[in-house]
Structure 1
Amino acid sequence: MFKDTKAYSGFSVDDTGVAKEFYGSTLGLDVTEDHGMLQLNLAGGAQVLVYPKDNHVPAEFTVLNFPVDDITATARELAGRGITFERYDDKHDADGVHRGDGPPIAWFKDPAGNVLSIIEE
Structure 2
Amino acid sequence: MPGFKFDGFVGATLVTNSRKLAGQDHRCSDNFHFHSIKQGKNIRWEIEGGDSANITFDVKEDISGRTDPTIYKSLKNGDINALPKGDSIYIANVKQNGSEIAKNYSLKITVSVV
Pair in the same fold by TM > 0.5: no
Structure with higher helix content: 1
Structure with higher strand content: 2
- Rg larger in 1 or in 2? 1
TM-score interval, normalised by the smaller of the two chains = under 0.3
Normalising by structure 1, report the TM-score: 0.25
Normalising by structure 2, report the TM-score: 0.26
Q: Compare relative contact order (CA 8 Å, sep 6+) and give the higher one, 1 or 2.
A: 2
